[in-house]
Chains A and B, each alone.
Chain A
């Protein structure tokens, strides 16, 4: 628990910077309002105003906190204004996309490690896929899938998968190749088959790599799901909240959705971290 003081210091510093930035950015609007009402503001009046604007350029932390409280705890979960409802929609797409991405990533990695042809032919495409901006691809995926009658959860999950399979492929290729020559030679002296080498040596060796990749992948999945929600006409999900917020200049709504997304991502990464700890500990590879 010695780390608690530095952690709190950093959090405190972030809040200080945030409040200062809110004052600085929102002051123009406060002065403009006062000018139109033919008033002059003292410094403390100005600061008070920047803390309580309806559509501030940068909402102050307590405004965001209040909004989150209002849209989570005080709203029924089934309400369309509940962030939990929107968060759940995004989360379900994220999880489906994450599972699909992880599956695809592992399959590709197994193929790449075992077949030189696949290594040469697939790996360049895997890398190319990530150089294309997802914002450009996402609407096309939504539209194309819609045209063949697939809508709702799956198109968003596909975009999540598109972002999340990549770290899994890269990590698992590295992980499955991590056994050194000696360990592979040892397997050879026992006349072990390729599948035996895979199940008994390559796969267990790759576990630390897998979990590291999964952490990156789950965060990327969430980004994918949010991006996927943007071109759907802002119906539901954290992405929809972001989009609707930006249409109507509801900066507080945007920021509360952003903070929720960040908290969701952090929670997902933490859950994987816990599973990683338990798994590696049971495998005797505790770090």
Chain B
């Protein structure tokens, strides 16, 4: 982990103008994310965690403050394809095979056919889906589809991976397995990951930094630097250290709620 700042938000605000008056989705957000960090955003619905991630991805425009991604504006970062984005649903195209889906961004970005094939092969290995190239999405389980969508986000050379509750729709056993895989993948690829979740164990298990957010207005309640070792078996979730961090996250969430 180096100290290079990848994402830097200063006094960032975003207000949606609605018919019921302004909604302060984000207010005075200050946060630095360094290269190689795994940062989770956790909070109740309406706390702006997804909005914050979408601002980083230039899917929403902030209405106040500033944010840089890789030292430039989110729009420039998006134009230079600086990040891969994973949504809650896999969103695979039903008319493309798994390999076809993963090569879709590569086609759009103009990678050569040979390069596409090589990259598809390597990311499928990374998410343990080798052998499923020719299958259509409906032939795969929900967890496998989500792995394919992660592979799609990894296929091109983006150093940042933004994930919006990617495992939210999956059952707990699949989720545990994917969490383990995601950590392995992160260790292998050294990407900077922004991860939105509403699960405390998931956030604590995965992250090097946990950003606790609270709603109305959406703001950061607490930033917790994880003290857990980088080697994390699933059993680490029973350790005293893990429980301590989880409690701190829970306190942060509770505090945010009583203020709101």
Q: Indicate with 1 or 0, residue by residue over A186-224, a CB within 8 angstroms of chain B CB atoms.
A: 111111100010001100100100000000000000000
Contact partner of A190 among B59, B108, B136, CB < 8 A?
A: B108
Q: Indicate with 1 or 0, residue by residue over B87-128, a CB within 8 angstroms of chain A CB atoms.
A: 101010111110000001101110000000000000000000
Q: Which of A204, A283, A284, A285 is the most central at the interface, judged by chain B CB atoms within 10 Å of its CB?
A: A284
- Name A282's closest neighbour in chain B (CB-CB): B95
B81 touches A190 (CB 8 A): yes
B108 touches A200 (CB 8 A): yes
What's the nearest-Cβ distance from chain A to residue B34, in Å?
22
| Range for the number of chain B residues in contact with chain A | 20 to 34
- Name B138's closest neighbour in chain A (CB-CB): A284
Residue numbers in B under 8 Å from A188 (CB-CB): 58-59, 78
- Asked whether any CB of chain B lies closer than 8 Å to the CB of A129, the reply is no
B104 touches A200 (CB 8 A): yes
A161 to B138, CA, bound (A): 38
A190 to B85, CA, bound (A): 9
A185 to B51, CA, bound (A): 13
Contact partner of B78 among A189, A196, A284, A285, CB < 8 A?
A: A189
Residue numbers in A under 8 Å from B136 (CB-CB): 284
A204 touches B93 (CB 8 A): yes
A189 touches B96 (CB 8 A): no
User: Secondary structure of the A side of the interface?
Assistant: helix
B87 touches A285 (CB 8 A): no
Contact partner of A182 among B79, B83, B87, B95, CB < 8 A?
A: B87
User: Secondary structure of the B side of the interface?
Assistant: loop
A196 to B110, CA, bound (A): 12
What's the nearest-Cβ distance from chain B to residue A58, in Å?
49
Residue numbers in A under 8 Å from B104 (CB-CB): 200
A155-201: which residues lie under 8 A (CB-CB) from chain B?
182-183, 185-192, 196, 200-201
Residue numbers in B under 8 Å from A285 (CB-CB): 94-95
A196 touches B108 (CB 8 A): yes
B96 touches A186 (CB 8 A): no
B85 touches A186 (CB 8 A): yes
- Name A183's closest neighbour in chain B (CB-CB): B91
- Asked whether any CB of chain A lies closer than 8 Å to the CB of B48, the reply is no
A186 touches B87 (CB 8 A): yes
A123-162: which residues lie under 8 A (CB-CB) from chain B?
none
A185 to B97, CA, bound (A): 21
Residue numbers in B under 8 Å from A207 (CB-CB): 95
- Name B109's closest neighbour in chain A (CB-CB): A190
What's the nearest-Cβ distance from chain A to residue B237, in Å?
31
Q: Jot down 23 A-B pairs with beta carbons below 8 A, ordered by A.
A: A183-B91, A183-B93, A185-B59, A185-B85, A186-B85, A186-B87, A188-B59, A189-B57, A189-B59, A189-B83, A190-B81, A190-B109, A191-B78, A191-B79, A191-B81, A200-B108, A201-B93, A204-B95, A283-B95, A284-B95, A284-B96, A284-B137, A284-B138
**Which chain B residues have a beta carbon within 8 Å of chain A's beta carbons?**
57-59, 78-79, 81, 83-85, 87, 89, 91, 93-97, 104-105, 107-109, 136-138
